[in-house]
Amino acid sequence: MWLFAAFIAIPMIEIALFIQVGGWIGLWPTLGIVILTAILGTMLVKAQGRQALMNLQRSFSVLNDPTEPLAHGAMVLIAGVLLLTPGFFTDAMGFALLIPTVRTAVYQYLRARITVARFQMGPQHPFQDRGRDPFGARPQGPHRPDVIDGEFHEVDPDKRPTHRPSGWTRH
C-alpha cells in the first residue's frame, strides 16, 4: 500500500514544486536548474559509485562482511536514478543519499529491521549450498588444496584396447 501511495504522492509533489518554483523564478531558469542538477548529480554519482565499488572490492579482498559496502553502492545507484529523474523533490532525495552520513544512517535504520538468516564467507565446497552435488553424493568436508576432484568410469576388464599403448597408460 505504501508503494502505491509513493507512486501517487511523489509526482504530485513534483508537479506542485515545479509550479511554485516556476512561478518564483520563471520557466527557463526552472528548466535550467533541472538540467544542471542532472549533470551535477551524474558527476557525483560516478565519483561516489567508483568509491563504493573500491570499498566493496576491498571488503572482498580482506574477507570482511560486504553488506555495508553493498548497501552503500545500492544507495548511490538509487541516488543516481533519483537525480536523473526530473524534479526538485527527487533531486533533494538523491543529493541526500550522496552524503555518506545519510547513507550510514539509512543503512543502520534498515539493518535494525532486517534479519539475516545466514551469512558465510571463505572457501566452500561448490555444492555446499544445495547439500548434494548433481550426482547425489554428499561433500566430504572442506576443500583441501592437496585433493584433486575427478570423475571415473569403470572399464569392463574383458575389453582390450585396439591401439598400441602410448606410454602414458598401462594396458
Name the residue with cell 548434494: 132
Residue 64 one-letter amino acid: N
How confident is the model at residue 143, as a pLDDT? Answer: 63
How confident is the model at residue 13, as a pLDDT? Answer: 92
If you average pLDDT over residues 158-169, what whole number do you get?
68
Handedness of CA 13, 18, 19, 21 (dihedral sign): positive
Note whether 49 and 73 are within 8 A (CB).
yes
If you average pLDDT over residues 52-62, what whole number do you get?
86
Arithmetic mean of pLDDT over the chain: 80
Residues 6+ away with beta carbon under 8 Å from 124:
142, 143
Residue 1, pLDDT above cutoff 70? yes
How confident is the model at residue 169, as a pLDDT? Answer: 63
Residue 127, pLDDT above cutoff 90? no
Determine what percent of the chain is predicted with pLDDT higher than 70.
Answer: 74
| Least confidently predicted of 76-80, 96-100, 116-120, 130-134 | 130-134
pTM, whole model, 2 decimals?
0.63
| Least confidently predicted of 52-56, 77-81, 131-135, 151-155 | 131-135
Q: How far apart are CA 28 and CA 151, in angstroms?
A: 71
Q: Which residue has the higher pLDDT, 71 or 156?
A: 71
Residue 102, pLDDT above cutoff 80? yes
